[in-house]
């Protein structure tokens, strides 16, 4: 019984979606602070704060969308839609999670607290109003990713490259439009009753937008890796060697979307599709190796 309740809570909090909050660690990696214990701890606190806040928002969304979710072939199994968790219980959990997020954020700095609060308000506005506005709906979701990445830098009080922020935005738009396409394919005629904004989208239009933002993602990431500012700050001009992983990752995800194999949930796709998982892990390992190679050699020579 206790095990079933635990599984229900994990599902309600959408723990698997916490992978999106790993973006807060990007600043730690690219600012070459990974080996600094104090900075690592601050990133962990920032990650925990966003996990608590995002879970609270997911619960809020589930309360707002409970009737629509009951008509969805997949979302009808969510704890609130299925009746496994009562609305009163969910409200209490939201209050507790937001309090925990605020407490964690207050341990960092005022700017981090402010950007986390802005994130919460923005996504609540999305749930209430903005999700009904065509294009704006996906742009707001993309802003959520950008905010996570920027918050990671703010938590550490380090500079974050503007090119990396722009690249994150385009990547998030790509994932967002892919999700809209997946919903239209899966729900077919019932798509607009579940998400009214889908009335304004067509699959050819979404395919065009996806190709556009995928190309923009590649271009901005390429510029980032070759930027003189980044080369000077990281002390290496070899970051471009990670481009093959980015190219394959984008093309693989586009393949999954176009073939209607996946694309409804980036976090789920990352966990389920082994080639995609391997690509992300290899990208992360390669970035770490390139950025910290000199520091590792210096440390090794000092032994």
Instruction: Note whether residue 122 is domain-resident.
Output: yes
Do 49 and 173 share a domain, yes or no? no
Determine the pLDDT at residue 300: 45
| 201 and 115 assigned to the same domain | no
Residue 294 lies in a domain: no
Task: Specify the CATH number for the domain of residue 23.
Answer: 1.10.357.140
Q: Is residue 298 part of a domain?
A: no
Q: Which of 18, 6, 194, 195 is nearest to 84 (CA)?
A: 6
Residue 62 lies in a domain: yes
The dihedral sign for the CA sequence 173, 175, 176, 181: positive
In a domain, 5, yes or no: no
Residues 6+ apart with CB under 8 A from 143: 122, 169, 172
Predicted confidence pLDDT, tens digits, the chain (303 residues): 556 667 777 777 788 888 889 889 988 888 888 778 889 999 999 999 999 999 999 888 888 777 776 666 667 767 777 767 788 888 888 899 999 999 999 998 999 999 999 999 999 899 888 888 999 999 999 999 999 999 999 999 887 778 888 998 999 999 999 888 888 887 766 666 667 788 888 889 999 999 999 999 999 999 988 888 888 887 888 888 999 999 999 999 888 888 766 656 676 777 778 888 899 999 989 988 888 876 554 444 444
Residue 3 included in any domain: no
Which of the listed residues 160, 190, 215 is the one where a domain comes to its end?
Answer: 160
- Give the end of a domain, one of 126, 160, 194: 160
pLDDT given for residue 288 in this prediction: 87
Are residues 142 and 174 part of one domain?
no
Which two structure tokens, joined as six digits, stand for 204? 């050819």
Do 211 and 275 fall into the same domain? yes
pLDDT of residue 148: 92
Q: Do 54 and 175 have their domain in common?
A: no
**Residue 204 covered by a domain:** yes
Q: Out of 132, 160, 188, pick the residue that ends a domain.
A: 160
- In this structure, are 187 and 277 located in the same domain? yes
155 and 34 inside one domain: yes
In this structure, is residue 269 part of a structural domain?
Answer: yes
Same domain? 76 vs 128:
yes
Q: Do residue 31 and residue 132 come from a single domain? A: yes
Cβ 7 vs Cβ 120: under 8 Å: no
Closest by alpha carbon to 87, among 68, 62, 70, 69? Answer: 62
Cα 26 from Cα 276, distance rounded (Å):
19
Looking at the 3D structure of the chain, how many domains does it have?
2
**HSE-up of residue 259 (Cα within 13 Å, Cβ side):** 8
The pLDDT assigned to 248 comes to 94
Q: Which domain holds residue 278?
A: 161-289
Q: Is 236 helix (H, G, I), strand (E, B) or coil?
A: coil
Q: What is the pTM of this model?
A: 0.81
Say yes or no: 93 and 170 in one domain. Answer: no
If you ran DSSP here, which 8-state letter would residue 76 be given?
Answer: G
Q: Is the domain of 54 the same as that of 85?
A: yes
Does residue 140 sit in the same domain as residue 171? no
Whether 205 and 259 have beta carbons less than 8 Å apart is answered as: no
């Amino acid at each position: 019984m206790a095990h079933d309740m635990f599984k229900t809570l994990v599902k309600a909090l959408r723990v698997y979606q916490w992978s999106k909050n790993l973006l807060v660690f990007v600043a730690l990696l690219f600012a070459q602070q990974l080996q600094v214990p104090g900075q690592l701890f601050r990133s962990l606190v920032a990650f925990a704060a966003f996990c608590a806040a995002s879970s609270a928002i997911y619960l809020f969304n589930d309360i707002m969308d409970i009737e629509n979710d009951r008509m969805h072939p997949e979302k009808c199994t969510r704890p609130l839609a299925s009746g496994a968790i009562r609305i009163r219980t969910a409200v209490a959990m939201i209050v507790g999670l937001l309090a925990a997020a605020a407490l964690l954020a207050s341990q960092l700095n005022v700017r981090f607290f402010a950007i986390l609060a802005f994130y919460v308000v923005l996504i609540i506005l999305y749930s209430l109003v903005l999700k009904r506005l065509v294009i704006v709906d996906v742009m707001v979701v993309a802003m959520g990713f950008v905010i996570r990445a920027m918050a990671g830098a703010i938590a550490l009080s380090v500079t974050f490259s503007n090119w990396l922020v722009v690249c994150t935005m385009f990547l998030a738009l790509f994932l967002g439009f892919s999700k809209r396409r997946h919903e239209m394919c899966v729900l077919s005629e019932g798509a607009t009753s579940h998400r009214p904004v889908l009335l304004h989208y067509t699959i050819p239009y979404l395919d065009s937008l996806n190709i556009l933002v995928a190309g923009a993602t590649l271009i901005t990431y390429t510029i980032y890796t070759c930027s003189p500012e980044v080369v000077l700050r990281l002390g290496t001009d070899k970051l471009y060697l990670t481009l093959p992983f980015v190219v394959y990752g984008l093309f693989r995800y586009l393949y999954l979307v176009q073939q209607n194999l996946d694309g409804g949930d980036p976090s789920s796709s990352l966990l389920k599709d082994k080639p995609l998982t391997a690509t992300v892990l290899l990208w992360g390992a390669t970035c770490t190796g390139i950025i910290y190679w000199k520091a590792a050699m210096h440390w090794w020579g000092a032994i």
